[in-house]
Amino acid sequence: MARARKVSDRFVALDFETANYSRDSACAVGLVTVVGTEIVDRASFLIRPPQPEAPVPTTFQFCHLHGICRHQVADQPTFLDLWPQLLERLEGADFVAAHNAGFDRDVLTACCEANSLTMPPLRFLCTLQLARSAWKLKPARLSDVCAHLKIPLQHHQVLSDTEACARIVISARRQGVRLDAHILRAETLESPEPAISAGQAGEREIVEQMDRLGALRSRRDNLGDEKQALIDQVFPPEVRTRLAEIDAEFTQKEDALGQDIEVLEGEVKGAVLGLGETVKGRFLLAQWVKGRITWDTKGLNQYGEGHPEILRFQKKGNPYVSLKSVGQYPKDSI
């Protein structure tokens, strides 16, 4: 029987932030190196995400979480530029620690694949799973574990998140927790817990967003009443009657235009879908998007080579077309 591999004193904690849901859209990374129970190196880098060939730049959907926006990374190095520095820190580590490690593993893998880089054979320790096992914490979000262990945290600040992850492992070591039982092969890592961002947003952030959304909806619903009250106050009845007639007239025009737009949009999307390529006009971009596959992992694909019967369970979504504005129509062109 093969002997269990002994865990050395050196490990690296890792945390990524991404611009959007795409795993290769890393916009920041933190690495903290630990020997024994001492932090010996801290490093963090902003990353300029890849720009697609299409004229639509990488979208930054998570600025509100980590505070990193497009202008802040416009002059920063790419992942390919940073790779020598990242590899220098990762190589030789007995394991890489990350909170919700499946996410950070996937980001690292996607960025390496996007840049034709060979990812080193790393072992991962998921501190989320460690916290559940060692301290029976549930939920075991990073903020929850830090509160339990009294670890300082500025959540979604990449170096703070990374150091917090390192200190979780340090706390486990000091309490005599056997780490070798928690070091997992990549294929055994759990998928990231449900989250709205690549930064592993927790329930608190979701609730805050829902509260803001509710307030905005309430404000929108009340605007119509405020508008009508102001109109009744300022304009005499005969003017209000004429305004109502104008509203009715333009509502009919808008409805007719809306129907024409809906029909033409359907024709454009159908044509681009048949073409199978993205098409750019002067003012609109019809972006052809490939259907998503229910799994896209090397492990399952390799397994499918020897067991083709499993491929019947792999489902591919239908491609679709989205229309995006890339320019503004001059008023005299309509």
The count of structural domains within the chain is 2
Domain finish residue from 149, 179, 199: 199
Q: Are 190 and 102 in contact (CB under 8 A)?
A: yes
**Over the stretch 202-234, which tens digit does the pLDDT of each residue have?**
555 565 666 666 666 666 666 666 666 667 667
Q: In whole numbers, what is the pLDDT of the chain averaged over residues?
A: 81
Closest CA to 86 of 130, 128, 47: 47
Q: Do 158 and 301 belong together in one domain?
A: no
Q: Do 99 and 166 belong together in one domain?
A: yes
Looking up tokens 């029976």 gives 136
Who wins on pLDDT, 245 or 11? 11
CA-CA distance, 243 to 179, in Å (whole number)? 73
Supply the range of the domain harboring residue 283: 235-333
pLDDT at 131: 93
Q: Do 135 and 279 belong together in one domain?
A: no
Q: Do 37 and 156 belong together in one domain?
A: yes
Q: Do 124 and 17 belong together in one domain?
A: yes
Q: Do 192 and 280 belong together in one domain?
A: no
Q: Do 45 and 139 belong together in one domain?
A: yes
Most confident of 178-187, 284-293, 309-318: 284-293
pLDDT at 223: 65
In a domain, 220, yes or no: no
In a domain, 1, yes or no: no
- The order of strands in the sheet holding 320-325 is 279-280, 284-289, 320-325
Q: Do 240 and 189 belong together in one domain?
A: no
In a domain, 122, yes or no: yes
In a domain, 193, yes or no: yes
Whether residue 31 has pLDDT greater than 90: yes
pLDDT class of 309 with cuts at 50, 70, 90: confident
If you write DSSP's letter for every residue of 216-267 in order, what string do you get? HHHHHHHHHHHHHHHHHHHS-HHHHHHHHHHHHHHHHHHHHHHHHHHHHHHH
Whether residue 101 has pLDDT greater than 70: yes
Who wins on pLDDT, 267 or 46? 46
Q: Do 301 and 159 belong together in one domain?
A: no
**Over the stretch 243-296, which tens digit does the pLDDT of each residue have?**
888 888 888 888 888 888 888 888 888 888 888 888 888 888 888 887 766 766
Domain finish residue from 199, 219, 253: 199
Closest CA to 82 of 18, 11, 158, 31: 31
Q: Do 177 and 249 belong together in one domain?
A: no
Classify the C-alpha dihedral 268-53-75-101 as positive or negative: positive
Q: Do 73 and 187 belong together in one domain?
A: yes
CA-CA distance, 91 to 282, in Å (whole number)? 49
Local structure of residue 290 (DSSP, 8 states): P
pLDDT class of 136 with cuts at 50, 70, 90: very high
In a domain, 68, yes or no: yes
Q: Do 115 and 160 belong together in one domain?
A: yes
Residue 120 maps to which CATH number? 3.30.420.10
Whether residue 166 has pLDDT greater than 50: yes
Domain finish residue from 199, 222, 253: 199
Q: What is the pTM of this model?
A: 0.56
